[in-house]
Amino acid sequence: MRRISIGCSVLGLLLALALPGPAAAFEPFRPLPERPPIPEGNPQLPARVALGRTLWFDPRLSVDASVSCNSCHDLLAGGTTPRSTAVGAMGRRGRRNPPTVWNAAFQTALGWDARYRSLEHLAQAHFLDPTVMGWADPGGLEARLRAIPGYRKAFRRAFGGAQPVTARHAAMALAAFQRTLVTPDSPFDRYLRGERQALDERARRGMERFVEAGCAACHFGVLLAGPVPGLALQPGQGFYELFPNFPGSPYDALYRLQDDPGRYARTREPSHKGMWRLPTLRNVALTAPYFHNGSVWSLAEAVRVMGRTELGRELSAQEVEELTAFLRSLTGRLPAIQPPRLPPLPPEGALPGLPGG
Amino acid sequence: MRRISIGCSVLGLLLALALPGPAAAFEPFRPLPERPPIPEGNPQLPARVALGRTLWFDPRLSVDASVSCNSCHDLLAGGTTPRSTAVGAMGRRGRRNPPTVWNAAFQTALGWDARYRSLEHLAQAHFLDPTVMGWADPGGLEARLRAIPGYRKAFRRAFGGAQPVTARHAAMALAAFQRTLVTPDSPFDRYLRGERQALDERARRGMERFVEAGCAACHFGVLLAGPVPGLALQPGQGFYELFPNFPGSPYDALYRLQDDPGRYARTREPSHKGMWRLPTLRNVALTAPYFHNGSVWSLAEAVRVMGRTELGRELSAQEVEELTAFLRSLTGRLPAIQPPRLPPLPPEGALPGLPGG
């Protein structure tokens, strides 16, 4: 079997120990906390969160003012986009399906290839990514934001200092806002907390199958994306999967599963070929289309693909039905979203970097 | 002067009569009602509105499940999109900037070239538009929706009958939902209702200039898009403008103002060259970028362009500032939006028309 054991061996052991007793069998899962870890360097100051919320919806963060963060990580569309790959600034298409922003604050590494260490790091990189915000350098974005009086005031309130409007601060504010994007109280969480009827019979059987079939060997922990919180893992351990693990199925061609070498494209390390950061399964019913290339629309089909390519076998119709029911129980409570009010340009002002700006 | 007088002569008269008395000068404006006109054939049944709301957010309405109505008419982005022109199904780009859906239910004609008679008509046409939902025929969409059990139930509840899941019913439900998308109680509306402090001094002066300078000759009525409700106008009267009315300014080239012949592209009637349905100015501060081609990002710049190309003169900095302040007062009360829960596909089901569906 070609299963990759990076980090999974520890859990394999846990599972093997746990499986005999049905109650203990679900130890790999943890309910989603109401709040994610907050890094010491970026406290959740209300002014910072509020600024991040405004920036989140502001298309002026992109070089041609055509996309906001919310364009590709749409809070009304599962925190992602229904497109297979998103369209960024200047109409440029990204190469991979945008991961959901809901609960992203619980991730230990971000991006399909785990290239980002934190939400702050991700935001700063996205500003300069030609397929995302498209800036040639942070200075362009900073000049843009400084031209907007409301931002000068809001950055000062959130960060203080003589020159608070910086790309770094924008990234910090965006990260602070994203740390509020948590969807607790899914039926699964309520079940884990002891509310037995929160899952119906089918979803409960799906949860058992999820562990027995081996899905939970990788999809475990708070996000069902590994690693278990509190279990010390080094970077590079515990959150990659080889996809497809069992190549050669008709799905490979149908969904172009090997169209992208994953983390290898970034690191050029041969062992990283086909390696991907494990995506969270929370709210997975809302985040179609699936996989790095957004090639599969239906959740049940994604389950069938995973069975064949990761577990090496065809799942039965009943298994697919039960696993899908379980996955649907991972949809949390999503808050209503107030449409934003973006700070205006002064009437005399043009928007730096834009004709007609 | 090349001002086009279709329909505007009636109002010109009204304004001329009204202008001497400052209180009467604002007669062309009316506060936005809480509810738009409801057509007799499509009552606002709660089940119909609820179905329309779900359909609004469902990308499965597009042939490749990549865009929902909300993708281009984003309720968190002013009811439109920050892109100059939107990206529809199959990644195909539309030719014009998507008009806002907020308060669209008050329009007497829809689309930049007034091609749609009603929201129902617009939705049915959008299903088949290759740059919007991309279906070759309504049957494809109907088969798609019928494959989703939750829709079979919701259409039955909303419409009854033996075969309720039709594209026509989907369009009716979407229209019913859109008739709830009203943004009342803008500062301007509160001012019109007698709350004098709702507009600050600058916005009040902007309102006066808006009438005096001639903007209100076309932008009048409930939507500031003409016609005055209750004033009987024939189709083709009262809601077109020639743009640019005064060609030859540097703006023509800078913003490609004559890149599209407007209604002429549809009708091939020579008098329709450069004719456009007047866009509403309600919430205009939220709907950048501006004009049919989405070429201008800043509201103040759009005001400058309009002064030069429609009124035939350069507006002073003070005029632009005051007019912009007035336009900002047209932003209404926007409700918080609950993220949708879309009805799932059955686990065994594929989505008709989609690989991986």
Contact state of B75 with A339 under an 8 Å Cβ cutoff: yes
| ipTM of the complex, rounded to two decimals | 0.91
**Contact across the interface for A325 and B338, Cβ inside 8 Å:** no
Q: In chain A, which residue's Cα lies nearest the Cα of B342?
A: A286
CA–CA distance, B107 with B114 (Å, rounded to integer): 10
Low-confidence ranges of chain B (pLDDT < 70): 1-27, 227-239, 356-357
Q: Minimal Cα–Cα distance from B301 to chain A, Å?
A: 6
Look at residue A28 in the predicted model and tell me its pLDDT. Answer: 75
Backbone dihedral region of A225: left (phi > 0), alpha (psi from -120 to 50 degrees) or beta? alpha
DSSP A66-102: ---HHHHSBTTTTTB-SSSS-B-GGGPBPSSPPPP-T
SS3 category, B172: helix
What does the block give as tokens for A83?
């497109």
* Alpha carbon of B237: minimum distance to chain A alpha carbons (Å): 31
| Closest residue, chain B, to A84 (C-alpha) | B66
User: Which site among A56, A83, A251 would you substitute to test the B interface, given the most B Cβ atoms closer than 10 Å to its Cβ?
Assistant: A83
As a residue count, chain A comes to 357
B277's tokens: 């349905």
Which residues of chain B lie closer than 8 angstroms to A93, CB-CB? 91
Q: Residue B276: in which H helix or E strand, if any?
A: strand B275-277
Residues of A in contact with B67 (CB under 8 A): 82-83
Q: Is B116 helix (H, G, I), strand (E, B) or coil?
A: strand
| DSSP secondary structure letter of residue A116 | B
Please name the residue of chain A whose CA is at the shortest distance from the CA of residue B297. Answer: A357
Question: For position B18, what pLDDT does the model report?
Answer: 43
- Is there a contact between B356 and A298 if contact means CB atoms under 8 Å apart? yes
Measuring CA to CA, how many Å separate B49 from each of B72, B159, B165? Answer: 20, 11, 15
The separation between the first and the last C-alpha atoms of chain A, rounded to the nearest angstrom, is 58
pLDDT of residue A34: 93
Strand B275-277 to strand A240-242: parallel, antiparallel, or no bridges (unpaired)? Answer: unpaired
Interatomic CA distance for residues B120 and B168, integer angstroms: 8
Distance (Å, whole) CA B256 – CA B129: 25
Q: Nearest residue on chain A to B66, judged by CA atoms?
A: A83
Q: State in Å, rounded, how far the first CA of chain B is from the last one.
A: 58
Q: Do A348 and B320 touch (CB under 8 A)?
A: yes
* The Cα angle at residue B149 between residues B146 and B67, in degrees rounded to 5: 65
Instruction: Read off φ and ψ for residue B203, nearest 5 degrees.
Output: -65, -35
What are the b/e assignments for A71-93, b being 16+ CB within 10 Å?
bbbbbbbbbbbbbbbbbbbebee
Q: Nearest-CA residue of chain B relative to A303?
A: B347
Number of CB atoms found within 10 A of residue A348's CB: 11
* Chain B residues in contact with A82 (beta carbon < 8 A): 59, 65-68, 71
- Residues with Cβ within 8 Å of A127's Cβ and at least 6 positions away in sequence, in order, are A61, A133, A135, A138, A141, A167, A170, A171
Asked if B52 and B120 touch (Cβ cutoff 8 Å), the reply is no
CA distances from B94 to A48, B135, B292 (A): 37, 15, 11
What pLDDT is stored for residue A262 in this prediction? 93
Within 8 A by CB and 6+ apart from A89, the residues are: A62, A63, A64, A66, A67, A130, A131, A132, A133, A134
Residue A148, helix vs strand vs coil: coil
CA A331 to chain centre: 14
Pick the residue of B301, B334, B338, B341 with the most A CBs within 10 A to test the interface with A by mutation. Answer: B301
Instruction: Give A293's contacts in chain B (Cβ within 8 Å).
Output: none
Q: A345 vs B300: CB contact, 8 Å cut-off?
A: yes
CA distance A51 to A45: 10
Q: Which long-range contacts (CB under 8 A, 24 or more apart) does B254-261 make?
A: B254/A355, B254/A356, B255/A355, B255/A356, B255/B291, B255/B293, B255/B295, B255/B296, B255/B305, B256/B293, B256/B295, B257/B291, B257/B293, B257/B295, B257/B305, B257/B309, B259/B293, B260/B95, B260/B96, B260/B292, B260/B293
Angle between helix axes B299-306 and B317-328 (nearest 10 degrees) is 120
What is the least distance, in Å, from the CA of B254 to any CA of chain A?
8
What DSSP designation does A184 have?
Answer: -
Residues of A within 8 A of B299 (CB-CB) are 344-345, 347
Determine the distance in angstroms separating the CA of B148 from the nearest CA of chain A, rounded to an integer: 11
Tokens (6 digits) for B56: 């609004």
Determine which of A297, A315, A321, A334 to mutate to test the interface with B (most B C-beta atoms within 10 Å).
A297
Q: Which residues of B touch A66 (CB under 8 A)?
A: 82-84
How far off is chain B from A124, nearest CA to CA, in Å?
Answer: 21
What length does chain B have?
357
The C-alpha atoms of residue B186 and residue A205 are separated, in whole angstroms, by 53
- Tell me, what DSSP letter sits at residue A307? I
Task: Give chain A positions within 8 Å (CB) of B300.
Answer: 345-349
Place of tokens 């009716």: B172
DSSP 8-state secondary structure symbol assigned to residue B161: S
Tens-binned pLDDT, residue by residue, of chain A (357 aa): 333 333 343 444 344 334 444 444 446 788 999 999 999 999 999 999 999 999 999 999 999 999 999 999 999 999 999 999 999 999 999 999 999 999 999 988 899 998 998 999 999 999 999 999 999 999 999 999 999 999 999 999 999 999 999 999 999 999 999 999 999 999 999 999 999 999 999 999 999 999 999 999 889 888 998 764 444 444 434 567 889 999 999 999 999 999 999 999 999 999 889 999 889 999 999 999 999 999 999 999 999 999 999 999 999 999 999 999 999 999 999 999 999 999 998 887 778 888 765
Q: Distance between CA atoms of A296 and A284, rounded to whole angstroms?
A: 13
Alpha carbon distances (Å) from B196 to A91, B29, B220: 45, 15, 20
Which residue, among A298, A314, A326, A334, would best test binding to B if mutated, counting the most B CBs under 10 Å from its CB?
A: A298
Q: What is the separation of C-alpha B88 from the centre of its chain, rounded to a whole number of angstroms?
A: 17
CA atoms of A157 and A197, how far apart (whole Å): 47
Q: Give the largest CA-CA distance in chain A.
A: 72
Distance from CA of B216 to the nearest CA of A (A): 20
Record the tokens describing residue B251, joined without a space. 């703006």
| Bridge pairing between strands A275-277 and B275-277 | unpaired
Q: Exposed, middle or buried, A197 (CB in 10 Å: 0-12/13-18/19+)?
A: exposed
What is the pTM for the complete model shown? Answer: 0.92
Residue A296 has its nearest CB partner, among B66, B286, B356, at B356
**Which pLDDT score, from 0 to 100, does residue A241 have?**
84
Measured in degrees and rounded to the nearest 5, phi and psi for residue B276 equal: -135, 145
Tell me whether residues B76 and A76 touch, CB distance under 8 A.
yes
Q: Which ranges of chain B does DSSP label H, i.e. alpha helix?
A: 8-18, 46-56, 69-72, 119-128, 138-146, 149-159, 167-178, 187-192, 201-212, 250-254, 264-267, 299-306, 317-328
CA of B261 vs chain A CAs: smallest distance (Å): 21
Q: Residue A303 is inside which H or E element, if any? A: helix A299-306
Q: In the numeric block, which tokens belong to residue A17?
A: 């120990």
The residue among B66, B84, B133, B338 with the most chain A CBs within 10 A of its CB, best to mutate, is: B66
* Residues B31 and B189: beta-carbon distance below 8 Å: yes
Copy the structure tokens of residue A131.
């397929």
